[in-house]
Structure formats: structure tokens, C-alpha cells
């Protein structure tokens, strides 16, 4: 289901709660909502669609990958980036890392561990910030 984008900074500023296997429908809602906003969005967190659960979706090449309960395990090569957000107007400067390693549960609730770099790593970090209530 396509959900409206939340722009309430009070809601977005709250930490998200752990997702559980019964939150699988949330992954489908993230996919539908990202698809509907593809022209201006490459990833989103569950709180951006009004759900305070630890789930994100990221466009990785031709695939949209849903990640439940992502955890940052390693990071290196910091740099300054300027980012926009579907939930906010304008762009803001922020610190990101060129290379990251994360662990998460996929849509089938299988544990995954993956390294990312560059643009995709930046998107993942932005969405994971949302889960912590960090708004750029």
C-alpha cells in the first residue's frame, strides 16, 4: 500500500522500535511507497511513512532492498555530504562514511551481513539515521 510521507519533525525525531517477523507487510508498504516516489527518492525509513519500526528500503541498482533492524558494524573514510530528504525541504550538510558494513534481516527474516561503499552506503546511512531519530 502506498502511504503518505510524514513531514512531522517531532515524529521523525523519535527513535524507532525493533521490527519483528510479523512486520513483513511494512516491507511491502515501503516498496510500494518508494516506487510511487521514485522520481525524487532512492530510499526511505519506516518512520517516513508513519511507522516507528526499524525498517528501511534502499534502491541498489535495479533492486529495492528492504532491511529490517539494520546495525552498523564498521565504517571508514569519513567525508562531508550534502543531502536532501523526502520528509524535509532543501538540503543539509552531514558527515558520512565511504565504506560501511551492516547486518540486517531481509524480507524473509534471514540474517544478512553486507559491505557497501559510495552512493549506496550514503543512502543506507541516511535511512539508518532516521531510525535513530536523527534528521539531517
The pTM of the full predicted model, rounded to 2 decimals, is 0.95
Q: What pLDDT is recorded for position 61?
A: 83
53: number of Cβ within 10 Å: 17
pLDDT tens per residue across all 136 residues of the chain: 999 999 999 999 999 999 999 999 999 999 999 999 999 999 999 999 999 999 999 999 889 999 999 999 999 999 999 999 999 888 999 999 999 999 999 999 999 999 999 999 999 999 999 999 998 8
Q: Is 82 a catalytic residue?
A: no
Q: What pLDDT is recorded for position 136?
A: 82
Strands 55-60 and 111-117: unpaired
Write down all domains in the chain, each with its CATH number in brackets: 9-131 (3.90.45.10)
The residue written with cell numbers 550514503 in the block is 122
CA distance 122 to 102: 12
Active-site pick, 82, 83, 101, 127 = 127
Q: How far apart are the first and last CA of the chain?
A: 27
Amino acid at each position: 500500500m502506498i502511504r503518505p510521507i510524514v513531514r512531522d519533525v517531532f515524529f521523525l525525531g523519535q527513535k524507532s522500535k525493533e521490527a519483528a517477523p510479523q512486520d513483513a507487510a511494512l516491507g511491502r508498504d515501503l516498496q510500494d511507497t518508494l516506487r510511487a516516489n521514485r522520481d525524487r527518492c532512492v530510499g526511505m525509513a519506516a518512520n517516513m511513512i508513519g511507522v516507528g519500526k526499524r525498517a528501511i528500503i534502499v534502491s541498489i541498482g535495479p533492486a529495492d532492498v528492504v532491511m529490517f533492524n539494520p546495525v552498523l558494524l564498521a565504517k571508514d573514510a569519513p567525508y562531508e555530504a550534502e543531502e536532501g530528504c523526502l520528509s524535509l525541504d532543501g538540503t543539509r550538510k552531514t558527515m558520512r562514511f565511504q565504506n560501511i558494513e551492516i547486518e540486517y534481516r531481509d524480507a524473509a527474516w534471514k540474517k544478512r551481513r553486507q559491505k557497501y561503499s559510495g552512493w549506496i552506503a550514503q543512502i543506507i546511512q541516511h535511512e539508518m539515521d532516521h531510525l535513530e531519530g536523527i534528521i539531517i
